[in-house]
């Protein structure tokens, strides 16, 4: 741990009854190059980005990261894990990002803001770019993909039926299996149910042992998530064409279709004539590339991209 970097706990009283908690990381003594906002993935938490945030701070960025609704210390009880609220879970997370961007701009009006989203956070960030893209100066997404509207429609129908029959808080093994069960098949024989996350077994074991990682989310989460992915697919043209965009993915990340789905996403942005678009696949790497065996290469690619923007 780099002792010269400060980590300060923060909380945000946001609209939609949101008491969101997180951190700021920064190094004193040098002017900041920019603000870096992290949107983490499903079934994890912002503390898992501590190493990355500290390295960004060493590069003179002030880093903001919060635990998204339904995750870790944003929940009041274990029953709330994976449940974001009575209304549209996903759009509320997008609104949260927008309001935190406003806080950053109030605190540091002179700084450009770079938004980073991983996995679920990559989709939250892409929807943010469609609705509030003028609030940021660059977007980095990892662990992402572009999904078939047909499959999303099937998943959405099933999730709606389960919500109606069992309630929004119900934890459905069926929805969880439909979303994740196939991911580990690529890596048989499996050591754990999360082998698809990383080639580094130590990192997988840390995830498995973490009480705030994994688990089954609410039926409402899946319903709202599937709908949001369809909304993203329908509104790529809303992303401003001059927004710098960096897309990074593991070549063996099943979320990105082991390269196919995330390449489709990249090609969609190419067709939308984005003027500053960069894409890279890391051979053999799986889902969590910031914790993967190639993590130093990934971080250096991000630092190089930031230096040019």
pLDDT category, 213, cuts 50, 70, 90? very high
- Is the residue at 263 inside a domain? yes
Residue 280 lies in a domain: yes
3 state DSSP class of 119: coil
* Predicted local confidence at residue 89, as pLDDT: 80
pLDDT of amino acid 74: 83
Q: What is the mean pLDDT of residues 206-232?
A: 96
Domain CATH code at residue 242: 3.40.50.1820
pLDDT in tens, 261-304: 999 999 999 999 999 999 999 999 999 999 999 999 999 999 99
Please indicate, yes or no, if residue 196 is contained in any of the structural domains: no
Considering the domain boundaries, does residue 271 fall inside one?
Answer: yes
Note the pLDDT of residue 1: 56
For residue 135, pLDDT over 70 is answered with: yes
pLDDT at residue 51 in the model: 97
Q: Residue 63 forms beta bridges with which residues?
A: 25, 36
pLDDT cut 90: percent of the chain above it: 87
pLDDT at residue 183, as a whole number: 96
Model confidence pLDDT, tens digit, residues 82-131: 888 777 789 999 999 999 999 999 999 999 999 999 999 999 999 999 99
Residue 44: which pLDDT band, with cuts at 50, 70 and 90? very high
Are the C-beta atoms of 211 and 75 separated by less than 8 Å?
no
215, 247 in Cβ contact below 8 A?
no
* Confidence band, pLDDT 50/70/90 cuts, at residue 79: confident
Residue 215 resides in a domain: no
Structural domain harbouring 62: 5-148+233-307
Total of domains in the chain: 1
pLDDT score, position 29: 86
In a domain, 155, yes or no: no
* Residue 46 belongs to some domain of the structure: yes
Can you give the pLDDT at residue 296? 98
Report pLDDT for 18. 67
Three-state SS string over the chain comes to CCCCEEEEEEEEEECCCEEEEEEEEEECCCCCCEEEEEECCCCCCHHHHHHHHHHHHHCCEEEEEECCCCCHHHCCCHHHCCCCCCCCHHHHHHHHHHHHHHHHHHHCCCCCEEEEEECHHHHHHHHHHHHHHHHCCEEEEECCCCCCHHHHHHHHHHHHHHHHHHCCCCECHHHHHHHHHHHHHHHCCCCCCCHHHCCCHHHHHHHHHCCCCCCCCEHHHHHHHHHHHHHHHHCHHHCCCCCCEEEEEECCCHHHHHHHHHHHHHHHHHHCCCCCEEEEEECCCCCCCCCCCCHHHHHHHHHHHHHCC
Is residue 198 domain-resident?
no
pTM strictly above 0.75: yes
């Amino acid at each position: 741990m780099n002792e010269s970097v400060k980590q300060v706990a923060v909380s945000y009283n946001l609209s939609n009854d949101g008491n969101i908690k997180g951190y700021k990381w920064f190094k004193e003594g040098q002017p900041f190059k920019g603000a870096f906002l992290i949107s983490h993935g499903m079934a994890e938490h912002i503390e898992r980005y501590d190493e990355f945030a500290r390295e960004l701070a060493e590069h003179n960025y002030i880093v903001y990261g919060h635990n998204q609704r339904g995750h870790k210390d944003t929940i009041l009880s274990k029953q709330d894990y994976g449940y974001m609220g009575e209304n549209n879970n996903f759009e509320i997370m997008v609104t949260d990002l927008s309001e935190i961007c406003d806080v950053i701009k109030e605190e540091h009006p002179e700084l450009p803001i770079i938004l980073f989203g991983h996995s679920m956070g990559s989709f939250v960030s892409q929807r943010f770019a469609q609705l509030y893209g003028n609030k940021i100066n660059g977007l980095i997404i990892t662990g992402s993909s572009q999904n078939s509207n047909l499959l999303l429609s099937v998943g959405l129908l099933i999730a709606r039926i389960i919500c109606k029959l069992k309630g929004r808080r119900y934890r459905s093994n069926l929805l969880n299996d439909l979303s994740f069960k196939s991911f580990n098949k690529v890596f048989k024989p499996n050591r754990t149910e999360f082998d698809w996350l990383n080639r580094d077994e130590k990192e997988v074991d840390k995830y498995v042992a973490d009480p705030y990682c994994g688990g089954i989310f609410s039926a409402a989460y899946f319903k709202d998530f599937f709908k949001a992915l369809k909304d993203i697919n329908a509104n790529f043209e809303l992303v401003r064409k001059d927004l710098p965009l960096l897309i990074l993915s593991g070549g063996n990340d099943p979320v990105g279709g082991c390269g196919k789905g995330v390449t489709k996403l990249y090609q969609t942005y190419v067709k939308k004539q984005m003027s500053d678009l960069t894409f890279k696949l890391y051979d053999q790497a799986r889902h969590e590339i910031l914790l993967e065996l190639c993590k130093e290469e990934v971080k250096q690619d991000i630092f190089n991209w930031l230096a040019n923007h």
